[in-house]
């Protein structure tokens, strides 16, 4: 490793020299092109090439293959001419220590930097943070910023995982966003993609074919061979890089079901252990997205601490709640459509609705409630709809109000999607900035995804490559000042104040088996949670007819509607003596 602790990338060595390293086991020779000058690199062991040369921060550099192909550094810290251009030398910048907040206090706000504001930059986003903090949000989660092809996209097609996309500003602008959030008491989480590379600008195949597993493919590209030490270092060091050099408080790892590694420990375990060891004394919050419903990564230590991952995105809660709200039954909603109530109740009480049934999932009731990140909407569940509609356009307002109360006053960690706080009317669509044949293929593929759906014609699906699709997804801040927008914000502000006052103080130390499902049928849901020092009770009727609610101990802390009436929700809290 270099003296900065990185195996990959270019790092300063002192006295004006920089060390350049690239793992290129598919080549017998390699050249560094530094500010237009070509320098032969020395082959080392295990496929590494290296050289040391005098340079200054900001200098351009690239690597030249024996056939003349010129490629950027896959661990480039900064790109200014797209994913095919040269990289820019950028020295490490360790950020000041911030004590952070405990995971149990998290109320997460997921956002996409490019559509969060009209300008779509880190600096513009800073101006919106005070309103989120005042509302009761305690964490923002930023969709991937690693550089991808084109000037707009969701970020899940990144090819240069260390380089913040310049469409959002400079690396220092991103650091300023994190710092501004910390000043307001907001944690900042970053979504990262370690399961594949995007289709535009990934040159690893040209010089490091061993980076990939020829026998495995993901839904988005070639499978990665995580058993190889240089590959493992690439991703583990990337995780450390984001937290150490930008100040992020944690990461959300995308689609880890596609990170398949037979090693012991596997990559996910090694990454979490090393990341926490690299930042002693700092809270590190790691979450996962995984459609397998596995629990091994989220186990707690005997003292209740988190040795690996803090939480798992709980698709079961979302899917059951969405079916209850909309009646939709196509695609991944189908397993929840016949009877969503027991599944929604079990997800609230125990985490996963599917815990081995049908071959999916593992038991999860032994995990504390804070191990589950629940949501009614996120970028996937809105943006992967053909027309990008939000629940505010799909669900009855009273049902949405009831489900929001259930989400925000559950002992699970709640997450909302940008715009939820004021019932944003604009859609969030799938968009990308690819050009030429790749852009045409993306348009064709997007329309093909929904060819079997009967509710609309393929021609109605917005073209993801059209810049107007991107612009149509930008938040309409004017709606915040409408009567509907103000009322939605007032409701959310009240719910989050109640959460921080009545629920958060009892989450730390809550152990296994805390949730108990009393009933879940025909819209009636009753759950009790035994927290650390209090019992929280939910009594809800999401059905169409009035029912008698089971009794609940404690004081009523919130209600939506009249007890037992359709779309009514009540919460009670009994503090232990």
pLDDT tens column, 52-91: 999 999 999 999 999 999 999 999 999 989 999 999 999 9
Distance separating alpha carbons of residues 441 and 97, to the nearest angstrom: 45
Quote the pLDDT of residue 460. Answer: 81
Q: Among the three residues 506, 522, 557, which one is the final residue of a domain in this structure?
A: 506
Q: If DSSP codes are grouped into helix, strand and coil, which group holds residue 154?
A: coil
pLDDT at residue 453 greater than cutoff 70: no
Residues 125 and 151 in one domain: yes
Tally of residues, the chain: 577
Alpha-carbon dihedral sign for residues 553, 554, 560, 565: positive
Contacts of range 474-477, beta carbons closer than 8 Å, 24 or more positions apart: 474/115, 474/117, 474/118, 474/120, 474/426, 475/115, 475/116, 475/117, 475/418, 475/419, 475/424, 475/426, 476/424, 476/425, 476/426, 477/117, 477/118
Domain assignment present for 346: no
Domain assignment present for 84: yes
Quote the pLDDT of residue 286. Answer: 98
Summarize the confidence of residues 250-258 as an average pLDDT.
98
Domain assignment present for 180: yes
CATH no. for residue 40? Answer: 2.60.40.10
Mean pLDDT value across the chain: 96
Phi, psi angle pair for 70, to nearest 5°: -110, 125
pLDDT band, residue 266 (cuts 50/70/90): very high
Q: Among the three residues 54, 88, 122, which one is the final residue of a domain in this structure?
A: 88
Which helix (H) or strand (E) element contains residue 126?
helix 122-126
Locate 338 and state its tokens.
């016949």
For the segment 137-157, what is each residue's pLDDT rounded down to a tens digit? 999 999 999 999 999 999 999
Quote the pLDDT of residue 449. Answer: 78
Integer CA distances (angstroms), 334 to 17, 320, 327, 330, 500, in order: 59, 10, 10, 5, 35
Distance separating alpha carbons of residues 61 and 259, to the nearest angstrom: 31
Residues 232 and 318 in one domain: yes
DSSP 452: T
Residues 173 and 61 in one domain: no
Residues 460 and 393 in one domain: yes
Report percent pLDDT > 90 for the chain.
94
Quote the pLDDT of residue 454. Answer: 58
Report percent pLDDT > 70 for the chain.
98
Quote the pLDDT of residue 450. Answer: 77
Quote the pLDDT of residue 447. Answer: 82
CATH no. for residue 241? Answer: 3.20.20.80
For the segment 325-344, what is each residue's pLDDT rounded down to a tens digit? 999 998 889 999 999 999 99
Distance separating alpha carbons of residues 311 and 103, to the nearest angstrom: 9
The active-site residue out of 73, 237, 254, 350 is: 254
Alpha-carbon dihedral sign for residues 173, 176, 178, 181: negative
Structural domain harbouring 29 = 11-88
Domain assignment present for 143: yes
Residue with tokens 């979302």: 318
Domain assignment present for 440: yes
Quote the pLDDT of residue 517. Answer: 98
pLDDT at residue 255 greater than cutoff 70: yes
Residues 501 and 393 in one domain: yes
pLDDT band, residue 446 (cuts 50/70/90): confident
Residues 175 and 272 in one domain: yes
The active-site residue out of 191, 289, 312, 421 is: 289
Residues 111 and 47 in one domain: no
Quote the pLDDT of residue 2. Answer: 42
Domain assignment present for 551: no
pLDDT at residue 394 greater than cutoff 50: yes
Phi, psi angle pair for 573, to nearest 5°: -135, 130
Integer CA distances (angstroms), 497 to 107, 332, 374, 500, in order: 11, 34, 18, 5
Nearest CA to 350 out of 307, 379, 320, 306 is that of 320
Residue with tokens 């090693």: 263
Domain assignment present for 387: yes
How many domains does the chain fold into?
A: 2
pLDDT at residue 488 greater than cutoff 90: yes
> Which residues in 106-141 are b (16+ Cβ under 10 Å) and which e?
bbbbbbbbbbbbeebbbbbbbeebeebeebbbbbbb
pLDDT at residue 452 greater than cutoff 80: no
Distance separating alpha carbons of residues 537 and 530, to the nearest angstrom: 9
Distance separating alpha carbons of residues 196 and 175, to the nearest angstrom: 26
pLDDT band, residue 383 (cuts 50/70/90): very high
Summarize the confidence of residues 351-374 as an average pLDDT.
96
Domain assignment present for 523: no
pLDDT band, residue 3 (cuts 50/70/90): very low
Q: Is 104 designated active site?
A: no
Quote the pLDDT of residue 358. Answer: 86
Q: Are strands 221-224 and 212-218 parallel, antiparallel or unpaired?
A: antiparallel
pLDDT at residue 221 greater than cutoff 60: yes
Contact 391, 400 (CB under 8 A): yes
Nearest CA to 288 out of 322, 231, 245, 250 is that of 250
Q: Is 46 designated active site?
A: no
User: In 146-186, at which residue ranges do the beta strands (DSSP E only) sit?
Assistant: 146-148, 158-164
Summarize the confidence of residues 242-261 as an average pLDDT.
98
Integer CA distances (angstroms), 53 to 11, 40, 44, 47, in order: 11, 11, 17, 20
Residues 268 and 195 in one domain: yes
Summarize the confidence of residues 101-116 as an average pLDDT.
98
Quote the pLDDT of residue 1. Answer: 37
Higher pLDDT, 330 or 224: 224
Residues 382 and 475 in one domain: yes
Distance separating alpha carbons of residues 117 and 403, to the nearest angstrom: 27
Report the predicted TM-score, pTM, of the whole model to 2 decimal places.
0.97
Contact 136, 493 (CB under 8 A): yes
Nearest CA to 409 out of 241, 184, 569 is that of 569
For the segment 270-287, what is each residue's pLDDT rounded down to a tens digit? 999 999 999 999 999 999
pLDDT at residue 569 greater than cutoff 80: yes
Residues 68 and 114 in one domain: no
Quote the pLDDT of residue 456. Answer: 57
Q: How far apart, in Å, do the first and last CA atoms of the chain sit?
A: 56
Residues 406 and 491 in one domain: yes
Distance separating alpha carbons of residues 255 and 289, to the nearest angstrom: 5
Contact 542, 402 (CB under 8 A): yes
Residues 121 and 81 in one domain: no
Q: Among the three residues 88, 118, 138, which one is the final residue of a domain in this structure?
A: 88
């Amino acid at each position: 490793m270099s003296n900065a602790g990185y195996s990959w990338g270019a790092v300063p060595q002192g006295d004006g020299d920089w060390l350049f390293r690239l793992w290129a086991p598919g080549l017998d020779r390699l050249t560094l092109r530094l500010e237009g000058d070509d320098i032969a690199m020395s082959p080392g062991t295990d496929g590494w090439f290296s050289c040391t040369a005098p340079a200054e921060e900001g200098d351009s550099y690239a690597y030249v293959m024996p056939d003349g192909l010129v490629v950027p550094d896959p661990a480039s810290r900064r790109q200014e001419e797209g994913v095919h251009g040269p990289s820019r030398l950028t020295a490490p910048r360790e950020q000041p220590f911030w004590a952070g907040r405990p995971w149990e206090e998290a109320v997460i706000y997921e956002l996409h930097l490019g559509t969060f504001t009209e300008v779509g930059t880190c600096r513009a986003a800073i101006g919106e943070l005070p309103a989120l903090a005042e509302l009761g949000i305690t964490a923002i989660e930023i969709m991937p910023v690693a550089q991808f092809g084109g000037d707009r996209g969701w970020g899940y097609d990144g090819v240069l995982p260390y380089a913040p996309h310049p469409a959002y500003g400079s690396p220092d602008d991103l650091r300023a966003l994190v710092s501004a959030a910390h000043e307001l008491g907001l944690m900042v989480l970053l979504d990262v993609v370690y399961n594949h590379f995007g289709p535009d600008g990934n040159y690893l195949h040209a010089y490091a074919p061993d980076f990939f597993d020829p026998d495995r493919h993901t839904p988005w590209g070639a499978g990665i061979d995580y058993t190889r030490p240089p590959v493992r270092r690439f991703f583990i060091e990337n995780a450390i890089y984001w937290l150490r050099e930008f100040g992020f408080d944690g990461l959300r790892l995308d689609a880890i079901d596609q990170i398949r590694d037979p090693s012991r420990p596997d990559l996910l375990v090694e990454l979490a252990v090393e990341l926490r060891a690299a930042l002693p004394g700092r809270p590190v919050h790691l979450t996962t997205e995984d459609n397998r419903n596995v629990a091994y990564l989220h186990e707690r230590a005997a003292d209740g601490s988190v040795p690996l991952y803090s939480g798992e995105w709980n698709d079961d809660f979302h899917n059951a709640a969405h079916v209850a709200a909309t009646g939709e039954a196509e695609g991944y909603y189908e397993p929840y459509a016949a009877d969503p109530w027991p599944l929604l109740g079990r997800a609230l009480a125990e985490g996963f609705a599917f815990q081995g049934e049908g071959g999916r999932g593992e038991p999860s009731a032994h995990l504390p409630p804070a191990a589950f990140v629940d949501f009614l909407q996120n970028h996937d569940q809105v943006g992967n709809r053909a027309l990008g509609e939000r629940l505010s356009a799909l669900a009855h307002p009273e049902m949405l109000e009831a489900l929001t109360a259930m989400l925000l006053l559950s002992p699970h960690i709640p997450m909302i999607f940008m715009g939820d706080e004021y019932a944003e009317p604009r859609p969030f669509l799938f968009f990308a900035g690819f050009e030429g044949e790749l852009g045409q293929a993306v348009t064709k593929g997007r329309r093909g995804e929904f060819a079997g759906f009967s509710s609309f014609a393929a021609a109605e699906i917005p073209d993801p490559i059209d810049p107007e699709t991107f612009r149509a997804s930008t938040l309409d801040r004017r709606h915040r000042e409408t009567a509907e927008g103000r009322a939605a914000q007032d409701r959310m502000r009240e719910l989050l104040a109640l959460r921080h006052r009545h629920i958060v103080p009892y989450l730390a130390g809550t152990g296994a088996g805390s949730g108990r499902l009393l009933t879940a049928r025909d819209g009636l849901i009753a759950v009790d949670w035994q927290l650390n020092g209090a019992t929280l009770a939910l009594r809800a009727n999401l059905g169409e007819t009035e029912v008698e609610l089971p009794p609940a101990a404690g004081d009523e802390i919130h209600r939506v509607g009249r007890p037992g009436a359709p779309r009514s929700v009540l919460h009670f809290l009994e503090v232990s003596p």
